Amino acid sequence: MSEPMDMSVVQLPAVQAAEAKLLLQTYERNPILFVGGEGVHLIDEQGNRYLDLLSGIGVNALGYAHPAIEEAIAQQSKKLLHISNLFFHTGQAELAARLTEMTGMDRAFFTNSGTEAWEAALKLARLYAGTRRSKGARIGTKFLALDHSFHGRTMGSVATTEKEKYRAPFMPVMPGVDFVPFNDVAALRAAFSDEYCAICVEAVQGEGGIRPVSQEFLDAARELTRSTGALLIVDEIQSGLGRTGKWCAYQHYGVQPDITTLAKPLAGGLPLGAMLCTEEVASTMQPGLHGTTFGGGPLACAVAIAVIDTLKREAMLAHIQDVGGYFRAQLARLAAQHSDIVTGARGLGLMLALELRSADTAKSVAAAMLQRHILINRTSETVLRFLPPYILGKPHVDLAVTALDEILHQHAPAETGAVPRATHGGTQIGR
Ligand SMILES: *Cc1c(COP(=O)(O)O)cnc(C)c1O
């Protein structure tokens, strides 16, 4: 056993050394030790403030130290943290009432994470198809998913995740999953048949690089699944709960799925996921067929209710549309001005991306932003991803865009004659 760390004087190198020795090495962490946060800012152990344009990975929708969340945790912690799913507490029904209204679904099942919500969706699709088969319907057990998809890391979720890197080392994963090229309607029509029990779609692919599905593709997926009685499952774990300026990103398309999944921002930073479905699909579930020890616990539910009520009270969807539209226009301007290294800007609401021509440049730009104490991340090699807290304001956007502009200038190829600007400009976040 190692010596316990003295947390009162703990410094980053000590934590790095201890983790290097003690933890499964699953993450390439940035060398920063965060100890607190306030609003849209994070604070490291030396008291430096960082503008957070990532909010966990799309989790901390209300930012840090939000009074509504602090209050919900304080109140609920005095009552009940956990009760098994063998008994009632008030939180699940109260939260389900809100979520079914927001999503247009009928019933909810609560989990502790995104991947568990997705597993519940896959299992329910199999169960529903099996029930229909037992009544004589021709419907198979396979899933049709999309290239660049990401649905989580457990064996079923990773089986529907296209990226080889996540799936190949763990083969065999759940069999019976095929992939079609993203937004390729002809390929979708050619691939689909009654062998499939569901088509799996992220309305806006997150890990895949902030790629919104096309209207034609989602319409075709809805029409094809209806034609055989298969299900349309839309993963809103990253894009849902207001992130894109609507409660669910599929609402931008006017397409209603049979099952959807939520998680990341649901409980404002506490782990909580939800699978929501129609009455028709839910009717095939029986007590004992699925469950979880922790999922939908009183604390997580109380905080999720506080998060949702705050989003509604503060008209946050309109704010997200407003600030998100402004941010996106600024990114589009940067893309046009730096077309030598940037290929484009895209996204919906506060789920935004700037795509660069090279993965190395993207990595270097994200690192330079971090040096200026602005958190973004790189996904899908060349894509800079922005998933800020919903409470972001336009002045924060201006600050980030000015920093990006300067950094992109510094990364411009020399032959374009771009003049590098000073690194230590006025964009450092105040200390
Ligand atoms: C993050 C994510 C998941 C997995 O969620 P976890 O909580 O990490 O298990 C699934 N689907 C999408 C679209 C995601 O962004």
Distance 386 CA to ligand 1 centre (A): 16
Q: Note the pLDDT tens digit of each residue in 198-232.
A: 999 999 999 999 999 999 999 999 999 999 999 99
Structural domains of the chain ordered from first start: 12-65+316-416 (3.90.1150.10), 69-313 (3.40.640.10)
User: What's the confidence (pLDDT) of residue 218?
Assistant: 98
pLDDT of residue 415: 55
Q: How far apart are CA 427 and CA 149, in angstroms?
A: 35
CB 388 within 8 A of CB 52: yes
Q: What is the CA radius of gyration of the chain?
A: 22
pLDDT tens per residue across span 389-404: 999 999 999 999 999 9
Cα(373)–Cα(370) distance, rounded to whole angstroms?
5
Which ligand 1 atom is nearest residue 264's CA?
7
Choice from 54, 115, 157 to test ligand 1 binding pocket (greatest atom count within 8 A of CB): 115
**Overall average pLDDT of the 344-357 stretch:** 98
Non-local CB neighbours of 88 within 8 Å, separated by 6+ positions:
none
How far is the centre of ligand 1, averaged over its atoms, from the C-alpha of 380 (Å)?
A: 15
Residues whose CB is less than 8 angstroms from the CB of residue 283 and which lie 6 or more positions away in sequence, other chains included? none
Ramachandran sector of residue 118 (left: φ over 0; alpha: ψ -120 to 50; beta: rest): alpha
Among protein residues, the one whose CA lies closest to atom 11 of ligand 1: 151
**Torsion sign over Cα 27, 33, 35, 36:** negative
Q: What is the Å distance from ligand 1's center to 117 Cα?
A: 9
The CA-based diameter of the chain, rounded to the nearest angstrom, is 71
Q: What is the pLDDT, as a whole number, of residue 201? A: 98
Strand pairing of 177-180 and 204-205? unpaired
What H or E segment, with its residue span, contains residue 179? Answer: strand 177-180
d(CA 352, ligand 1 centre) in Å: 17
pLDDT band at 313 (very low <50, low <70, confident <90, very high): very high
Q: How confident is the model at residue 428 (pLDDT cuts 50, 70, 90)?
A: very low
Nearest CA to ligand 1 atom 5: 114
Q: What contacts 57, CB < 8 A, 6 or more positions away? A: 238, 264, 377, 387
CA distance 401 to 197: 44
**Average pLDDT of span 248-271:** 98
Give the C-alpha separation, 154 to 345, whole Å. Answer: 31
Residues 125-162: tens digit of each pLDDT: 999 999 999 999 999 999 999 999 999 999 999 999 99
Distance 63 CA to ligand 1 centre (A): 19
Model confidence band, residue 9 (pLDDT cutoffs 50, 70, 90): low
Mutate to test the pocket of ligand 1, among 55, 60, 118 (most ligand atoms within 8 A of CB): 118
For the cut 90, the answer to whether the pLDDT of residue 3 exceeds it is no
- Residue of 54, 148, 151, 243 to mutate, ligand 1, most atoms within 8 A of C-beta: 151
Find out whether 151 and 200 touch, Cβ atoms under 8 Å. yes
Confidence category of residue 8, pLDDT binned at 50, 70, 90: low
pLDDT of residue 10: 72
| Among protein residues, the one whose CA lies closest to atom 6 of ligand 1 | 114
Atom 7, ligand 1: residue with shortest CA distance? 114
Residue with the nearest Cα to atom 15 of ligand 1?
238
Q: Which residues contact 39 (CB under 8 A, 6 or more apart)?
A: 63, 64, 65, 389, 391
3-state secondary structure 110-137: EECCHHHHHHHHHHHHHHHHHHHHHCCC
150 CA from centroid of ligand 1 (Å): 7
The DSSP symbol for 198 reads E
Which pair of tokens denotes residue 216? Answer: 């034609």
Residue 190, CA atoms < 13 Å, CB-side half-sphere? 7
Higher-scoring residue by pLDDT: 6, 93: 93
At residue 6 the predicted structure's pLDDT band, cuts being 50, 70 and 90, is low
pLDDT score of 152: 98
Asked if 306 and 144 touch (Cβ cutoff 8 Å), the reply is no
pTM value > 0.75? yes
pLDDT of residue 414: 75
Question: Which residue is closest in CA terms to ligand 1's atom 10?
Answer: 151
pLDDT at residue 417 tops 70? no
Q: What is the structure's pLDDT at 309?
A: 98
Mean pLDDT calculated for residue range 59-72 = 98
Please list every protein residue whose CB sits less than 6 Å from any atom of ligand 1: 113-115, 118, 150-152, 202, 206-207, 235, 237-238, 263-264
Instruction: Using most ligand atoms within 8 A of CB, pick from 116, 150, 294 the residue to mutate for ligand 1.
Output: 150
Ligand 1 centre to CA of 395 (Å) is: 30
- Which token pair is 132? 């229909």
pLDDT, position 430: 37
- What's the confidence (pLDDT) of residue 185? 98
**Interval between CA 264 and ligand 1 midpoint (Å):** 7
Instruction: Measure 70 CA to ligand 1 centroid, in angstroms.
Output: 25
Distance (angstroms) between ligand 1 centre and the Cα of 99 equals 18
CA of 408 to the centre of ligand 1 (A): 30
User: CB-based burial of residue 402 (10 Å sphere; 0-12 exposed, 13-18 middle, 19+ buried)?
Assistant: middle
CA dist list (Å): 294 to 132, 185, 235: 31, 40, 22
